[in-house]
Structure 1
């Protein structure tokens, strides 16, 4: 079984997934439970972080120690892959690479405000990684200058992730006339880059090519069952008993 945790980054994942089981953004315990259900390949794109406990590094190590192929990209998955790639987690895409190489350090660069699953994970803000990718594309096409791109990127970074939209960014851009502002807006309609989506699609493509088996390769490290780990396992075992499901 292959399982992908995804939400607002790729709202149409279900139509692209084939035989891959698509679940919502991962929170703490979800990867552990997927391993217990027999998953051989697990992909993480989106994950909860603000009002729920995020995916725990320990459960990622548990999955890897059980022979599960674990991949991450685009959002929470890129963060965890950059943090755990030395243990065998596979990162996919530009955003992962930027975190792995130290070109990005702030987790909020991938954060995004969005609606619920019932509304198709409607995007309500612009993640900084998409802003940066778009500005790079605009510079390459000579739509904006390097100095304009630097100013726009700095403005975007200064805005809280829930409030960051292209409108809010451009409203704070001083020193240009309305004609110039309108030309940038027009360019954004046609040239905006959704790097998170592109990386998520790339991860889905990699997952589709992987064998649905757990390899038996020997690891160079050993998973340690700590007290906190045992408490988490106990908690999620209780939650999965009949009568405790929500």
Structure 2
């Protein structure tokens, strides 16, 4: 097993300025740990990055409790301006206007994110900004099932990766749709993403010391000849209380 190689790959994913990172998970295997650990890296003392966190799934104290175990105090980081939290759990994205529907809720949310990014972004300071959304399936619920409104919202957010160099990290539950139904949102997400991380259960079933398998697709990996190509890697992982252990399949006995 080559732990250094795996840690290097994880660092490449976290150091992904100007990219869209999509975390896909399922009911059997949550990918929330990836969101937490990417947040930890970006809020570490060695980093000067600022995280704009858009929460649809959980309140502030939920993430504060988890990040404290990982060595980050979100209350302190919020006071220092390094962690900006938008609690959108009660957002109703659609308003009834004259019998029709508008997407004013998502438009207003994008303007909040855009304003926060503009205030932070400065050519002089060169501070990196990461925007995280913790549950895209709940964004679609808030939009009353209108995936087209959610897709428009995500396209707007993606413009910030080029406009101000933001990183966009999204968590989505891939299996909320039936197997026979292709999700327009899922297809669009995989198209928009530069890096796709999929957490799935083991093909062989449950194991005491392995919690699942992780597939990382980097669409913009640069090879030794300086050319851009797709790169796919597969790991297994075990989530611990304050860390995650990654290893290659078959490296454990």
Please tell me the TM-score bracket, short chain as reference: 0.3 to 0.5
Structure of greater relative contact order (alpha carbons < 8 Å, 6+ residues apart): 2
Length-normalised TM-score, structure 2: 0.31
Identify the structure with the greater helix proportion.
1
Query: If the length of structure 1 is used for normalisation, what is the TM-score?
Result: 0.32
- Rg larger in 1 or in 2? 1
